Structure 1
C-alpha cells in the first residue's frame, strides 16, 4: 500500500513514539560530559607544562647568579642559596602569572634547584573544584663555569 505510514507497538500494545528522543538526549549528555572532561584534562596538562617551563627558566636564572671565586690559582663559579633565590624571584616578578617559589637553593655550589608552585582551576564550571588543584614543578640547572 503506497503512502501508508506504519507505527510499531510494543508487546503490551503501547506505541514506541518518543523512545528515540530520550535515547538521543542521553547520548548528547554523555558526549557533553566527555567533551568537558577532555577540555579540563587538556587545560591541566597545558598548565603543568607552563609551570615546568617556568621552573626551568627560574633554575636557569638562578644558575646565572654565581660569583667568581679564585682559589689555588683557579677561578671557579660558585652559587649561593641567596643568589639563586634572588635571581629566581627576579624572574618570577618580571613574568605574569600567579606562581610562587616554594624552594630555591644550591645543593652543591654549582647547581641551582628551584621549585615553583601554583593552583589550577578548571576552565569549565570551577564550582566542582573551588579550591583548585595544587601544581608543583622542580627544575635544576648548572652553571656554565665550573
Structure 2
C-alpha cells in the first residue's frame, strides 16, 4: 500500500513537471512566431530610392522599429519589443521578450522566467 502511494505521488509530480515544461515550450514557440511575424512586417517597411537608373529598396532602423512595434502591439499578447534594427539596410532583425509563469508549480518560480526570441527577415526587393 505504501509503495503504491509513493508511486502515485511520483507519477503526479512527473505529470505536473510535464505540464510546466509543455507550457514553457509553447510560450517560447509563441514568442518565436511573434518575432518572425514582426521581422517579416518590418522587412516590408522599406523605402524606395532611385540610384541612377536603378530603384533600390532600403530599410532604416526607424522604419523597422515602427513596423515591428505596430505588429507586436497588435498581436503580441504580452510580448514586448526588445529591439528592432537593420544591420545592412536590406534585413530586419527583431527581438521580442516576454515572461513565462508556470501554470502549476509556481512555488519554484514565483517571478517567472524571462524569454526572448530573435528573428531576421530580408526584403525581397533589391
TM band (smaller chain): over 0.9
The two structures have a TM-score, normalised by structure 2, of 0.97
Q: CA RMSD in A?
A: 0.9
Partner of 2:96: 116
Alignment of 1:99 with 2:79, yes or no, is yes
Partner of 2:19: 39
The two structures have a TM-score, normalised by structure 1, of 0.84
Equivalent pair of 2:16/2:105 in contact (CA under 8 Å): no
Larger Rg: 1
Alignment of 1:28 with 2:3, yes or no, is no
Map residues 64-75 of structure 1 onto 2, 5 A cutoff. 64-75=44-55
In structure 1, distance between residues paired with 2:78 and 2:47? 30
Q: Which has the higher contact order (CA 8 A, sep 6+)?
A: 2
1:102-121 Cα distance to aligned partner (Å, 9 max, x none): 11000000000000000101
1:8-64 Cα distance to aligned partner (Å, 9 max, x none): xxxxxxxxxxxxx21111001000011011111111111111110110000001001
Alignment of 1:50 with 2:30, yes or no, is yes
After superposing on structure 2, the runs of 4+ consecutive aligned residues of structure 1 that deviate more than 6 Å are: none
Number of residue pairs aligned between Structure 1 and Structure 2: 126
